[in-house]
A and B are shown apart, each in its own frame.
Chain A
Amino acid sequence: MSRASTRFDSKKVNSELVTLTYGALVAQMVKDAENTDDVGKQLERLGYNMGVRLIEDFLAKTGTGKCMDLKDTADKIQSAFKMYLGLQPNVSNWSPAGDEFSFLLDCNPLTDLVELPEDLKNLKYCNVICGAIRGALEMVQLDVHSWIIQDQLKGDPCTEIRVKFIRRLEDALPAGED
């Protein structure tokens, strides 16, 4: 295909460019929004819209099958991290019920050159990842909640993204005759 030849090899894109582009985006949003909570929400929504499309690319490239259980889901998201951000987060901190787990990122390409100023300490800088996870999983009939509980930008030793399974979504019925 003509486009395939001009497309970037996913491994060859400089992560600094992504970091800086994302940084510029967040900076603009901080300028536009009333408060930092709104920015967090917007970032989450942005991530959601990305995840909804990203999942198709992921499925097409990996040809992965249905998830057997949430452990399987976690492994697959882990491989997606590898594919799209070039890092291998650890999956850990499973809840006793087995419906909650965390990704531990010891380095995060989105925050490589970032330092949060004092007045933005509440900003959920990496919320875009939470949104992407939620959007992608929603497309494969999994309703999850995802949020950040540890953040390197706030002095924690690593970034921890928590994912909680809520329910399995049902197949849509065909639209009735009206």
Chain B
Amino acid sequence: MTIHNIYIFNKNGNLLYYNEWNRIKQTGMTRDEEAKLMYGMLFSIKSFVNKISPTDPKDGFLYYKTSKYTLHYFETLTGLKFVLNTDNHAQSVRELLQQIYNQVYVEYVVKNPLIDLAQPIESEIFKEKLDTLIKLSPIYFSKSI
């Protein structure tokens, strides 16, 4: 199992944070363009899922899967969006995303008054804690590529 990369968007669709662990293929665009493309797609899927749902959608869009990877999506009520790409075998990624929000984002970004919540996260301690959490997770397992 492996974790490829993470995107964190704020409610306005700005990329707050990006990091990658086992990303084998790059898009060839700039990070900016890639983030815009990603956010645009997420926005569309979200509204598509909610519109087309034959019953009342509770959580809405949760993840999608291709033959090679799974994209997990977690949105908080405040509009923060956490996107994690893993391989197809990853279990309980939702819990991990929840932990990233509870234990890393809230603790080291929200509770740090020096961080502007609308700007990309530069904090070293945040990066460190996120990296530790990801690497401790059973989902993370660096395959020899």
Contact = CB atoms under 8 A, between A and B. Distances in A.
A107 to B, nearest CB: 28
A53 B12 contact: no
Given A57-B111, A60-B101, A171 B79 contact: yes
- Chain A facing B: main interface SS: loop
B110 interface: yes
Interface in A157-178: 171-175, 177
- Chain B facing A: main interface SS: helix
A54 to B, nearest CB: 9
Give the one of B36, B80, B107 with max A CB within 10 A.
B107
B40 A66 contact: no
B77 interface: yes
A174 B13 contact: yes
Interface string B1-37: 0000000000111100000000000000000000010
Contacts, number: 54
Interface residues of A, number: 23
B43 A173 contact: yes
Contacts of A60: 101-102, 106
Interface of B: 11-14, 36, 39-40, 43, 76-80, 98, 101-103, 105-107, 110-111, 117, 129
Given A56-B78, A60-B102, 6 more contacts: A53-B110, A55-B78, A56-B110, A141-B79, A173-B43, A174-B43
